[in-house]
Structure 1
Amino acid sequence: MNTASKDQQTQRKTNIFIGILLFLVSIVLFITTTPIGFLYGFFYRLFTGFLKGLGGYFLEIAVSIDQLGNVVMQHILNLLWIKRKGYKFGHRDETISSVLGKNQEENTLSGFGKLIVSILDTIDPDHVFDSIDHFVESKI
């Protein structure tokens, strides 16, 4: 399924009760199954790829959490970190760093957004530029 059809599914009218129910089910499943999956994955990667495999495992988790943050915090990040006409946060397949990088290229970061970019780029030089996902287009 391509990105456009995923976005169309997300934007279709959804019954609020179904949306809330699926959200609650996902939270319960996440809380109850994640510790088991994490421990299994940790030891699997530790023994099959040693430290290199373990580093990749943690990076995959970090990217997934970052994508979740991009969706959950999209409204406040759009308000605080970018200018009105900037590339919007909120695409479920994109990281916060990718959106920051796109806005840095377009010079649409707010002052606060520029501060966040400078912090990230101090930790990892050119982080937001290197994080840009050119295959994801704005959902708005």
Structure 2
Amino acid sequence: MILKKQDCGKKKKSNPIIGILLFLISIVLMILTGPIGLVFGFFHQLFTKGFKGIGEFALKIAVSIDQLGNVIMRHLFNALWITKDGYEFGNRDETISSALGKNKQLGTLTPFGKAIDKVLDTIDPDHTLNSIDYFIEPTLKTR
């Protein structure tokens, strides 16, 4: 079998109907199977790794939800939390805190973005700076 190298720099054309259909299917599958997988996963982790395993599983889920939030909320966050030349939210592989931390470093947070960062710093000192993922590939403009 010969594997073709993908050109990740090219923007792939997509059919909007297929995108909407796959979105709806993913929602239905999550509603129907998600609770079963969640309960099974917690018990599996409990019996194989103990309480520590549950914490690891919960953290992975939290990061995934955070990444989803970064995609869903990107337009709002880009409009409210960063200046025009800021590092944009919306990368599906990045958490909200990572993008917020990059903008903190760049000095491109709006007053509202700075307030959000301050709230997170109150809960967990230097949260956004410690959350920066330097291995995230930049994405195309999202605005």
Output the TM-score relative to the length of structure 2: 0.89
- In structure 2, the partner of 1:101 is 101
For residues 101-132 of structure 1, what are the alpha-carbon distances to aligned partners after superposition, in whole Å with 9 as ceiling and x for unaligned?
Answer: 00000000111111111111111111111110
Q: Quick one: distance in 2 between partners of 1:77 and 1:135?
A: 21
* 1:50 positional shift: 1.6
How many aligned residue pairs are there? 135
1:79 matches 2:57: no
What are the within-5 Å matches in structure 2 for residues 1-140 of structure 1? 5=8, 8=10, 11-140=11-140
Q: Quick one: distance in 2 between partners of 1:80 and 1:33?
A: 35
Q: Decide which structure has the larger Cα Rg and report it.
A: 2
* 1:86 positional shift: 0.3
- 1:32 maps to a residue whose letter is L
Q: Quick one: distance in 2 between partners of 1:56 and 1:125?
A: 21
User: Structure 2: which 5+ runs fail to align?
Assistant: 1-6
More helix by percentage: 1
Q: For residue 66 of structure 2, give the secondary structure of its aligned residue in structure 1.
A: helix
**Segments of 4+ in structure 1 off by > 6 A?**
none
Percent identity over the alignment is: 59
- 2:95 maps to a residue whose letter is T
* 1:53 positional shift: 1.1
Q: Quick one: distance in 2 between partners of 1:137 and 1:109?
A: 21
Q: Which moved more, 1:48-57 or 1:64-73?
A: 48-57
